[in-house]
Amino acid sequence: MKQTKKPTTTPTTKSAKKSKAKSIAKSGSDTAMKSSAGSSSGTILIKSGAIHTASDSFRADLLVEHGKIVQIAAKIDTNFCHNAKVINAAGLDVFPGGIDVHTHFELPFMGAVSPDDFSSGTVAAACGGTTTIVDFVIPSRGQRITEAAKMWHNKADGKCAVDYGFHIALVEFNDQVAKDIPKVIADGVTSFKCFLAYKNALMVDDAQLLEILYHARENGALVSVHAENGDMLTFLMKHLLESGNTAPRFHSEAHPAIAEAEATHRAIVLASMAAAPLYIVHMSCNEALEEVKIARSRGQMVLAETCPQYLLLDDELYNQPGFEGAKWVMSPPLRHFSNQDPLWEGLRDGFVQTVATDHCSFNYATQKKMGKEKFTLIPNGIPGVGDRMNLLYTYGVCRGRFSPNQFAAITATNPARIFGMYPQKGTIAVGSDADLVFYDPKKKGKITDKNTLHNVDYSAYNNFELDGLPVLVLSRGVVVSKDQKFTGDTAHGRFLKRQPFTPSDWGFPEFEGF
Ligand SMILES: [Zn+2]
């Protein structure tokens, strides 16, 4: 059931109980937090933070009990909070904990297994201000999706530092899949993903996608698509390799923007015919964004996600000497830098709702090098789950590309609303989980290959300067990281049973069946 409580301001009590409040933080920007690391959350009083939700910014105190926010007020008297631990958040920006709805942990892919598993991946997430992740269950063809979901539970349950959910990739459609769709939705997996790329592996054709869109809609689930035309990519890869073009930079030539625009357009048209909502994952280029804008302008329920790599990195990186460009081989690939401004503007203007990472890390020295002779054998993916919030805080909020409220919306509130986690997750409100990230705008840092939060041998964002750092992160009231050091427990994270997708949350009428 959905919670209905809205943020409220509760009058301050005048109770004169003797204060037993214990300070767990010194003054704001110095943030010498003295929390009991990883301890269970009792009562926590957070004083004087600059709180930012998707709609408001205000200075207030927050009271947390048993992992939930129970009071928000201009001033909450410490005398009232028997035995509360106190966090002094003066000088800090307080946001809803980040939600990354696109990760691949411990994924067997292209002959390798991504080395960030659910433990190291969620630890990196926690240290980087992300308190919820949604990972993709990817079944083999012929495997029941209920079985694949069990496999993912085996990988994740009891091993996550923060809360987690699953999407399921549908790599085929048949009667068994149709029967299993309502079963997995009942288990809290309310979104599916279809690949229009990776021909002969994960790709579905148009007939299958139509059936999936229809069956998902009938059961209240949202379908997302990896929008690249698999036939076009296969054709280009074949001809490039035949011409002896085997270096990493040819990965980019084999994945042109036109193939992404075509698949985006096609998925939108198919979703329109199926009267189903659609979510485009990892949109990388202006050509695809234009397709989304056209669909939105005619009133179609199309939502889009981009990733930090498409906002901040560009295809010049493929021209690095030697094999270095392999570090950024992913699909879609990095684009010409002229795509970056339209994507930032798309976020600002509401055509792009979320930024997720598509975190899928592979070690450069041992795994990326499997494609030394042929770019088509380089495992696709980059690390990023720990970097997303920091990059968007610096290059979004601090550089004036969007407001702190837009930052909250893009990194937490929108993903929570789209993927059935709101308002338990994604906002700072009475009744919501106390998932919070505290940014100190005065602290500076730099991402490097050496200090990466991820379990891999390089960073995709080496030498990126950061203005403002997450000095404290709470997950359900538990301090899971301090000054980007993990202080939590890798068994703390709980599986999130997500709610069905609700078009009316976005002002769209309920879809009518046919
Ligand atoms: Zn992905």
- Ligand 1 midpoint to CA 236 (Å): 21
Domain 98-423: which CATH number of 3.40.220.10, 3.20.20.140, 3.30.420.140, 3.50.50.60: 3.20.20.140
Compute the chain's Rg from CA coordinates: 22
- Residue range 275-333, pLDDT digits in tens: 999 999 999 999 999 999 999 999 999 999 999 999 999 999 999 999 999 999 999 99
Give the Å distance between the CA of 171 and the centre of ligand 1: 14
Distance 24 CA to ligand 1 centre (A): 39
- Equal CATH topology for 22-96+425-486 and 98-423: no
* Res 508: pLDDT: 81
Cα(20) to ligand 1 centroid in Å equals 48
d(Cα 99, Cα 376) in Å, to the nearest integer?
31
Q: How far is the CA of 3 from the centre of ligand 1 (A)?
A: 30
Note the pLDDT tens digit of each residue in 459-486.
Answer: 999 999 999 999 999 999 999 999 999 9
Terminal Cα-to-Cα distance of the chain (whole angstroms): 27
Q: How many residues does the chain have?
A: 514
CATH superfamily of 22-96+425-486: Urease, subunit C, domain 1 (2.30.40.10)
Separation of CA 280 and ligand 1 centre (Å): 11
135 CA from centroid of ligand 1 (Å): 9
Kindly tell me the burial class for residue 513, based on how many C-beta atoms sit within 10 Å of its own C-beta (0-12, 13-18, 19 or more): exposed
Mean pLDDT per segment of 10 residues, for the chain of length 514 residues? 37 36 40 40 92 98 97 90 91 98 94 95 98 98 98 98 98 98 98 97 97 96 98 98 98 98 98 96 98 96 98 97 97 98 97 98 96 96 98 98 97 98 98 98 97 96 98 98 98 98 83 64
Q: Is 350 left (phi over 0), alpha (psi -120 to 50) or beta?
A: left
The residues pairing with 58 across neighbouring beta strands, listed in sequence order, are: 51
Nearest-5° angle of CA 262, CA 307, CA 481?
160
| Distances 108 to 104, 128, 276, 360 between C-alpha atoms, Å | 9, 25, 31, 10
In the chain, where the domains are located: 22-96+425-486, 98-423
166 CA to centre of ligand 1 in angstroms: 13
